[in-house]
Structure formats: structure tokens, C-alpha cells
């Protein structure tokens, strides 16, 4: 067994799926090749650290996001039964770069994992030598997340757009372009669940003047009672007093959902 063969089978070796014969040959190779032995020890340490990562605790909005994702998935199944339209057969840019075959998807996942490990290792090493390169790496990661979020928010599939909203949630401070895309989603997305998820994502940036103004203006554009009530609750939570006039105008609309009208009346009382 040569070095290339050993490197190809290292993941199987540490996950325990390698057959005994191949495992014995690899161990024999480690005894004769210091470079491969060192690489195997490094991968072993990384594997143990990955296993020690604590499970992420669900946030308060997890149930709503899960239900939104499930609803989008069910809509996709119903749509698939009817057959795809001409527009849906046109692959978007991101879909063209993400292969549909599971084996290639798994390969891409391994590549992303490797990139993440390299970035993490680089950050650890560069922290000892100065903060300039660390800041640059962080900026590159932030920019990558922004591009992924913006690309997914433009996809035809509601489930993909939900992923875009989720990517925007991974940014500590979304830039104006991402915030503008989320506001556009709240106003114009055809899927109510995507609009609700985007509204929830804007919660962390509610102190941003552009976001506050956009949320108030959005109240006049909404037709879904669910989105209207969620938007009213958010405006009350952030104590946006300029929204009082928008709420009064909303209550004057004929045919307004009774529950929305009641919620708007309650919100006006909270803002006084």
C-alpha cells in the first residue's frame, strides 16, 4: 500500500468501516512511513475534537422554522406530483453548481469540511502571530455567507429560499445588502412561511434604521393575516412608536381580518 492509497482510505480508517485486511496494511504502512503516520495522528486528533463538539441547543424560533421548512417541503412534494413547469426546469446558478447525485453531494460536503478545518487551523495559528490575517479570514467567511444567503434567497424553490434566510441568521451583523434582500422577501415572497422566516431573521437587526423603516412600510403591503400579526408583534417588541400611524391606517381598511384588527388595536395600546 502506497501513500496515496493510505490518504484515500484515512476517513474509512477512522470511522471504523475499513475491512480488517486493509486496516492491517495501513497500520503496517504507518510503521514504515513517518509522514503518513503523522498525518494519521493529526486526523485522529481532529476527529476526536469533532466528536467533542457539544450539540447546539435549539433557539426560541426553532419550532417556527421547522414548521416553515416542513410546509415548504410538503408543497414541493405536491408540486412534484403535478409535474414541473417550464420555469421550474430552468436551473438557477446555484443549483447548477450543486450536484444532484448523492455521491457528489457527499464529496462536496467533505470538501467544505476540509476547508472549514483549514480555516480554523489557520485562525488558531495566526492568532499567535497577529490579528491582521485573522481579521481577513473572518471577513472572507462573512463575505462567503453573504453570497450564499443572497443566492439562495433568489431560488425558485421555497425550501431553498428558507435556507437562504437561515444563512442570513448566521451573520452577527448582516450588511445592508442582506437586510434589503430580507425586507424584499418579507414584502414580496409568494410563500407565507418564507416571509415569516425572513421577518424572524430581521429581529436581530431591528435597531437598524433601514430595517425599522422597512418594517413599518411593509405593514401596508401584507395580505396574509399570519404575517400581519407577526409583523405587528415585532413592531411592538422593538417599541417602534412611528408605527402607530401605520397601525391606525391598517385598522381603517375594509375587509381587514378581525384578528388582525384586534391585534393592531392591542398594539396601539402598548405603544402609548
Residue 102 confidence (pLDDT) above 50? no
Residues 76 and 12 in one domain: no
**Among 107-121, 140-154, 216-230, 246-260, which stretch is predicted with the lowest mean pLDDT?**
107-121
pLDDT at 215: 92
Q: Which of 116, 146, 170 is the last residue of a domain?
A: 170
Q: Which of 120, 150, 170 is the last residue of a domain?
A: 170
Query: Would you give the DSSP letter of residue 191?
Result: -
Q: How much is the average pLDDT of 26-42?
A: 82
pTM over 0.75: no
Q: Residues 194, 182: contact at Cβ < 8 Å? A: no
The answer to whether residue 107 is domain-embedded is: yes
Of 194, 219, 215, 192, the residue nearest 203 (C-alpha): 215
Residues 31 and 113 in one domain: no
pLDDT band at 231 (very low <50, low <70, confident <90, very high): very high
Given its phi and psi angles, is residue 208 left (phi above 0), alpha (psi -120 to 50 degrees) or beta?
beta
Residues 69 and 166 in one domain: yes
- The phi, psi pair for 56, rounded to 5°, reads -70, 135
Residues 103 and 31 in one domain: no
Residues 72 and 20 in one domain: no
The answer to whether residue 124 is domain-embedded is: yes
Q: Calculate the dihedral angle through the C-alpha atoms of 95, 100, 106, 109, rounding to the nearest 10 degrees.
A: 0
pLDDT at 210: 92
Residues 115 and 161 in one domain: yes
3-class SS at 223?
Answer: coil
Query: Would you give the DSSP letter of residue 190?
Result: S
pLDDT at 146: 76
The answer to whether residue 255 is domain-embedded is: no
pLDDT band at 71 (very low <50, low <70, confident <90, very high): low
Domain of 139 in residue numbering reads as 64-80+94-170
pLDDT at 182: 93
What is d(CA 202, CA 160) in angstroms, rounded to the nearest whole number? 18
Residues 22 and 75 in one domain: no
The answer to whether residue 29 is domain-embedded is: yes
Dihedral of alpha carbons 69, 173, 156, 100, sign: negative
Between 179 and 61, whose confidence is greater?
179
What is d(CA 22, CA 1) in angstroms, rounded to the nearest whole number? 9
Q: Which of 170, 190, 215 is the last residue of a domain?
A: 170
The answer to whether residue 256 is domain-embedded is: no
Residues 18 and 116 in one domain: no
The answer to whether residue 265 is domain-embedded is: no
pLDDT at 9: 76
Residues 69 and 21 in one domain: no
Q: What is the DSSP string of 154-184?
A: T-SSHHHHHHHHHHHHT-SS--HHHHHHHHH
Residues 166 and 68 in one domain: yes
Q: Which three cell numbers stand for residue 16?
A: 471504523
Q: How much is the average pLDDT of 107-136?
A: 54
The answer to whether residue 140 is domain-embedded is: yes
Number of structural domains the chain divides into: 2
For 149-201, the pLDDT digits (tens) are: 788 888 888 888 888 888 888 777 888 888 999 999 999 999 999 999 999 99
For 37-47, the pLDDT digits (tens) are: 887 777 776 66
Amino acid at each position: 500500500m502506497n501513500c496515496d492509497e493510505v490518504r484515500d482510505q484515512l476517513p474509512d480508517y477512522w470511522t471504523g468501516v475499513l475491512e480488517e485486511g486493509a486496516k492491517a496494511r495501513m497500520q503496517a504502512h504507518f510503521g514504515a512511513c513517518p509522514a503518513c503516520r503523522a498525518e494519521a495522528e493529526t486526523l485522529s486528533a481532529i476527529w476526536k475534537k469533532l466528536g467533542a463538539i457539544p450539540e447546539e441547543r435549539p433557539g426560541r424560533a426553532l419550532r417556527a422554522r421547522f414548521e416553515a421548512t416542513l410546509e415548504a417541503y410538503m408543497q414541493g412534494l405536491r408540486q412534484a406530483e403535478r409535474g414541473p413547469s417550464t420555469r421550474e426546469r430552468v436551473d438557477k446558478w446555484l443549483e447548477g453548481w450543486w450536484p444532484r447525485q448523492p455521491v457528489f453531494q457527499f464529496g462536496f460536503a467533505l470538501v467544505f469540511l476540509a476547508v472549514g478545518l483549514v480555516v480554523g487551523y489557520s485562525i488558531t495559528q495566526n492568532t499567535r502571530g497577529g490579528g491582521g490575517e485573522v481579521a481577513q479570514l473572518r471577513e472572507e467567511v462573512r463575505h462567503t455567507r453573504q453570497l450564499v444567503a443572497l443566492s439562495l434567497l433568489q431560488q425558485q424553490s421555497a425550501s431553498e429560499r428558507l435556507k437562504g434566510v437561515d444563512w442570513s441568521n448566521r451573520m452577527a451583523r448582516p450588511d445592508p445588502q442582506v437586510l434589503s434582500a430580507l425586507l424584499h422577501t418579507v414584502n414580496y415572497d409568494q410563500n407565507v412561511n418564507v416571509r415569516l422566516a425572513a421577518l424572524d431573521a430581521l429581529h436581530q437587526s431591528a435597531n437598524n434604521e433601514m430595517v425599522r423603516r422597512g418594517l413599518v412600510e411593509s405593514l401596508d403591503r401584507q395580505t396574509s393575516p399570519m404575517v400581519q400579526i407577526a409583523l405587528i408583534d415585532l413592531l411592538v417588541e422593538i417599541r417602534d412608536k412611528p408605527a402607530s400611524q401605520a397601525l391606525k391606517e391598517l385598522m381603517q381598511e375594509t375587509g381587514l381580518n378581525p384578528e388582525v384588527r384586534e391585534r393592531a388595536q392591542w398594539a396601539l395600546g402598548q405603544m402609548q
